[in-house]
Amino acid sequence: MAIKTTPYDSAEYLDSDEAIAAYIDEALGSADPAHITHALGVVARAKGMTEIARSAGVSREHLYRALKETGNPELSTVVRVLKALGLRLSAQPIAEEKRKRRTKATRKAA
């Protein structure tokens, strides 16, 4: 008996603002531009590509091109899409880097 599978689509589970924010936050935390682009595309599909494009002030075709697998959206497009999603970029120190700096400073002081 063959195992029956269905394709997994993250967009089906992004049904709240909190889920979308967590999904995008994880992608931004990866620091991988391709992962971030993919995540923005998934969320835009979940919310409706046409609606997000309209809210972001770009054409639907431009948004599809920018957020496709090989897309390389400009920062202005990313910021506009995030704003259309009700999100914004923010900067936080990387905890590991802070710890490394403290460790180096402690070693120099000793």
The full set of domains in the chain, from first to last, is 14-109 (1.10.260.40)
**CA–CA distance, 44 with 80 (Å, rounded to integer):** 12
The model's pTM is 0.79
Residues 6+ apart with CB under 8 A from 44: 52, 53, 63, 67, 81, 85
Report, as ranges of residue numbers, the positions in the chain whose pLDDT lies below 70: 96-110
